[in-house]
C-alpha cells in the first residue's frame, strides 16, 4: 500500500439535491474527495468512466434509472465497492441490492456516524484486499485466491467477486475446515458487530456460493445452521 497521502474518493449517486449538497460538504469535511451525480444515468457513466473511486454511494429510488439498474450495469464490468442507500426500508430492497452485488446497504434515513463508519469499513476492506501485497496466495479445494492480485480462480476460470465476497472467501479460506461464525465475518469483513435480524452476511455468502457453483458444481461452503459457515477442504 502506498504510504503517500491521498484523498479517498467517493461517488454519490442520489437524486435528492439538498441531501447530496449536505453529504458532499459533510464527507469533504471528513476528508474524502466527493463527486455527486443526481441521476442514475449520469452516475453510471461517471462510475465506469475510468476515474477511480474507492466507494460509490448509490440511492435506490431515482427517476430514469434506479439504483438496481445502475448496480447491475456497473457490476457487469466493475467491482468498485458499492454502499446502497435503500430508501424504502423494505427487506426486499436490501436483499435485491445485496443479491445484485452491493457490498453493504444503509437504510435511509441514516445516522451520519453510521454512514462514516460504513464507508470506512468498506474502504478499509478494499485497500486491505487490494494492497495486501505481502500476503500469500491460497489454494484450497480447487479454489485459488491471490490477495496481491486480488484474483480468484477455479479450474483456471477467473471469478468476478465483489470486494466483500472476496474478503468473505479469503476469511473462509484462511480458516478452511474450521467453523467461521457470522460474528467473525461481520467484524472482520463488514467491520461492524453482527446485528440481530440482519441478513447481509447470508446474502454475501449466498452470492459467493452461486458464483463458485457456476464454475464447479457442488457446494464448497457448508452452512452451520445458526452458527456460521465452513469451507470444505475436500
Partner 1 sequence: MFKKFNPTRKIMGRIFLWFWVTFLVTAAFAVVGTRFFFEELEVVDIKPQDVRALSAFASRIQRNNAKQIPLVNLLNRLERDRRWRLIAVNTNNKQIIAPSGPPLRNMDARALQNLIGQESAIAIKRGAVKFSGPLFFNYQGERYGLFSAKFDRAAQNKPSFLLLFIIAILTTTILSWLFARSLTSPILDIQSSAKKLASGQWDTRVGFASSRHDELGELARDFNRMAERLQTMWGAQKRLLADVSHELRSPLARLQMALGLAYQQNVDPDTLTRVEREADRMEALVAQLLTLSRVEAGHVLLTKQLLVDVLNDVFTDADFEAQSKNKQLRIAQVPKITVEVDSNMLCRAVENVIRNAIRHSRQLTSVAFEHDDAHWHIIISDDGDGLSVEECEKIFSPFYRATLARERESGGVGLGLSIAKAAVELHNGVICAEPQSDKGLKVTLSFPF
Give contact residues for partner 1 (rule: CB under 8 A).
16, 18-19, 22-23, 25-26, 29-30, 61, 87-89, 91, 108-113, 115, 194, 196-199, 225-226
Q: How far is the CB of 86 from partner 1 (least distance, A)?
A: 10
Nearest to 116, CA basis, from 28, 178, 199? 28
Q: How far is the CB of 183 from partner 1 (least distance, A)?
A: 8
Question: What are 48's three cell numbers?
Answer: 465506469
Query: Nearer Cβ to partner 1, position 22 or 233?
Result: 22
Report d(CA 150, CA 172) in Å as an integer: 16
Task: For residue 3, give the DSSP letter.
Answer: -
Q: How far is the CB of 210 from partner 1 (least distance, A)?
A: 19
Nearest to 10, CA basis, from 45, 49, 58, 44? 58
Query: Nearer Cβ to partner 1, position 51 or 88?
Result: 88
Q: How far is CA 141 from CA 42, 173, 209, 212, 218, in A?
A: 42, 9, 14, 12, 12
**Helices first, then strands: H and E counts in the chain:** 8, 12
Q: How far is the CB of 75 from partner 1 (least distance, A)?
A: 25
Q: How far is the CB of 27 from partner 1 (least distance, A)?
A: 9
Q: How far is the CB of 203 from partner 1 (least distance, A)?
A: 13
The CA-based angle 119-124-125, given to 5 degrees, is 100
Query: Nearer Cβ to partner 1, position 170 or 182?
Result: 182
Query: Nearer Cβ to partner 1, position 61 or 140?
Result: 61
Report d(CA 227, CA 182) in Å as an integer: 7
Task: For residue 203, give the DSSP letter.
Answer: H
Query: Nearer Cβ to partner 1, position 28 or 136?
Result: 28
Nearest to 78, CA basis, from 60, 102, 59, 99? 102
Query: Nearer Cβ to partner 1, position 60 or 74?
Result: 60
Amino acid at each position: 500500500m502506498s504510504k503517500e497521502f491521498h484523498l479517498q474518493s467517493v461517488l454519490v449517486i442520489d437524486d435528492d439535491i439538498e441531501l447530496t449538497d449536505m453529504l458532499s460538504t459533510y464527507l469533504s469535511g471528513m476528508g474524502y474527495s466527493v463527486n455527486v451525480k443526481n441521476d442514475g444515468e449520469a452516475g453510471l457513466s461517471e462510475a465506469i468512466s475510468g476515474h477511480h473511486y474507492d466507494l460509490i454511494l448509490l440511492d435506490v429510488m431515482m427517476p430514469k434509472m434506479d439504483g438496481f439498474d445502475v448496480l447491475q450495469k456497473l457490476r457487469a464490468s466493475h467491482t468498485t465497492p458499492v454502499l446502497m442507500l435503500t430508501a424504502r426500508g423494505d427487506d426486499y430492497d436490501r436483499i435485491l441490492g445485496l443479491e445484485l452485488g452491493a457490498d453493504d446497504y444503509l437504510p435511509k434515513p441514516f445516522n451520519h456516524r453510521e454512514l462514516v463508519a460504513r464507508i470506512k469499513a468498506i474502504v478499509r476492506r478494499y485497500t486491505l484486499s487490494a494492497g495486501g501485497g505481502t500476503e500469500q496466495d491460497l489454494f484450497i479445494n480447487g479454489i485459488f485466491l491471490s490477495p496481491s492480485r486480488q484474483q480468484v480462480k477455479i479450474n483456471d476460470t477467473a471469478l468476478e467477486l465483489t470486494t466483500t465476497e472476496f474478503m468473505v472467501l479469503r476469511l473462509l479460506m484462511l480458516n478452511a475446515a474450521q467453523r467461521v461464525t457470522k460474528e467473525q465475518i461481520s467484524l472482520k469483513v463488514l467491520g461492524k458487530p453482527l446485528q440481530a435480524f440482519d441478513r447481509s452476511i447470508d446474502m454475501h455468502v449466498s452470492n459467493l456460493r452461486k458464483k463458485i457453483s457456476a464454475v464447479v458444481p457442488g457446494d464448497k461452503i457448508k452452512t452451520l445452521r445458526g452458527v456460521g459457515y465452513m469451507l470444505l477442504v475436500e
